């Protein structure tokens, strides 16, 4: 039995089959436009004296922890945003040379303030606050 015979027996016409497929596409599109928000209730501390966090001792360095990207800008400020892209949740990277967060999946980019710079993402990133006390860097909502 080929596909056409199967669909005929099942009572599914080509038009209804296409409609079923389009329903799936519509749902995916809706999810994409709704965006992905970052974690809520964020409050954790990174000890910058630990080698695991040493990337944050260098201007332009960054790491990801608990769904958050924490970066040290080229001017030495600490910034933190949600790790997942607001388009389809792909993990972002920090690009200090372009002063932006970038998504390798479809090319969206966000400023260091989390604002959409390049689509297809159309929703800004959730931004977190940072406070440095000695070698303890607190990241919080
Ligand atoms: S997941 Fe599509 S641009 Fe990030």
Q: How confident is the model over 61-78, as pLDDT tens digits?
A: 999 999 999 999 999 999
Determine if ligand 1 sits within 6 Å of the CB of residue 87: yes
Determine if ligand 1 sits within 6 Å of the CB of residue 88: yes
Alpha-carbon span 140 to 14, nearest angstrom: 53
Alpha-carbon span 84 to 87, nearest angstrom: 9
Determine if ligand 1 sits within 6 Å of the CB of residue 108: yes
The pLDDT tens digits of the residues spanning 88-129 come to 999 999 999 999 999 999 999 999 999 999 999 999 999 999
Determine if ligand 1 sits within 6 Å of the CB of residue 121: yes
Give the global pTM: 0.76
List the residue whose alpha carbon is closest to atom 3 of ligand 1: 106
């Amino acid at each position: 039995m080929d596909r056409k015979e199967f669909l005929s027996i099942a009572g599914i016409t080509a038009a209804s089959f296409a409609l079923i497929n389009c329903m799936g596409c519509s749902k995916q599109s809706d999810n994409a436009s709704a965006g992905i928000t970052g974690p809520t209730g964020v409050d954790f501390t990174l000890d910058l004296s630990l080698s695991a966090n040493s990337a944050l001792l260098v201007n332009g360095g960054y790491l990801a922890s608990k769904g958050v990207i924490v970066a040290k800008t080229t001017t030495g400020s600490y910034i933190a945003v949600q790790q997942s892209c607001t388009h389809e949740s792909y993990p972002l990277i920090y690009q200090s040379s372009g002063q932006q967060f970038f998504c390798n999946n479809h090319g969206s980019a966000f400023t260091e303030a989390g604002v959409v710079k390049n689509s297809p993402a159309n929703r800004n990133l959730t931004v977190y606050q940072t406070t440095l006390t000695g070698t303890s860097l607190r990241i919080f909502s």
